[in-house]
Amino acid sequence: MREISGQPLCQDWELSLQPRNIQGFPSSISISAMYKQGKLTGLRWLIRDISDRKQVEYKVICQQLAKEKELSELKSCFINTVSHEFRTPLSVILNSVEMLEGYSDRLSEAKKSNHFHKVRLSIGYMVQLLEDILFYGKAEANKLEFNPAPLELEDFCQALVEELRVSAKEGQDIVFSSKCDRPSVCLDPKLLKQLLGNLLSNAIKYSSKGSKIQFKTICENSQVIFQIQDSGIGIPKEDIPHLFDPFHRAKNATTISGTGLGLTIVKKAVDLHRGTISVESEIGTGTTFTVTLPCSPTCQ
């Protein structure tokens, strides 16, 4: 009593109780002092079973540990994937530079041109890879912004097609068509370039030589629809629900270079526009992505 009389009126602590012949349980114990005429006359004990609360806390801790493990695995996957994806184009550049430097006088103009073409493609690939990494990093840090601006859609899409034709395989072509009679629409040009650029790049990558990629834009009411259709390898049905997960690669695409970030970036760009994206695919026949974005003729 003398020890407690100098303490606050209430104390609260947790411990595990083990009554006789009963299974132990976590408890919370509170003690309050009882006074009469200023003198301590006794103690009131309150013992509460906190098993349910502890179970909830345990689940939360398990979820946090699982999340930390997932983040650690994603980080490891990211480092391994990116280092591999940079190594390939750098090797191509080094090989072409060495050939041009050491055998320039013996190479035909056609072979020189081919090496320069390989260098340009490899540099373009690395630039796109860096842009994807920076975009994904900003998205994960919630630092991406939606900045709509008046956009001449047909000119924008045609310029993007010309830019991507450089990376097309032999005989491949991107066939662009537009059913949009508006002079301009209000969309974010940077996000739109990432969105369409990744979808078109995937169509090129996963389609064979000589194939055609259909790229359509349609303006309907207050929205614009983008459709990209290829005749490539297709996507297995079991992979479709995970297409937009970071670093996910379809099981039939693991031998083809790629980071697994492209469609994640596409989905984030679509979400920032408050739009929707759908996919239809058949193995050996091809894939069609349809993106619908709300827009207005003017940015107000």
Three-state SS sequence of the chain: CHHHHCCCCEEEEEEEECCCCCCCEEEEEEEEEEEECCEEEEEEEEEEECHHHHHHHHHHHHHHHHHHHHHHHHHHHHHHHHHHHHHHHHHHHHHHHHHHHHHHHHCCHHHHHHHHHHHHHHHHHHHHHHHHHHHHHHHHCCCCCCCCEEECHHHHHHHHHHHHHCCCCCCCEEEEEEECCCCCEEECHHHHHHHHHHHHHHHHHCCCCCCEEEEEEEEECCEEEEEEECCCCCCCHHHHHHCCCCCCCCCCCCCCCCCCCHHHHHHHHHHHCCCEEEEEEECCCEEEEEEEEECCCCCC
Give pLDDT tens digits for 151-209: 999 999 999 999 998 888 889 999 999 998 887 899 999 999 999 999 999 999 999 99
Per-residue confidence (pLDDT) for residue 8, from 0 to 100: 53
The answer, yes or no, to whether residue 281 has pLDDT greater than 80, is yes
Per-residue confidence (pLDDT) for residue 1, from 0 to 100: 46
- The more confidently predicted of residues 31 and 91 is 91
Per-residue confidence (pLDDT) for residue 130, from 0 to 100: 87
Percent of the chain with pLDDT over 90: 44
pLDDT class for 19, splitting at 50, 70, 90?
A: confident
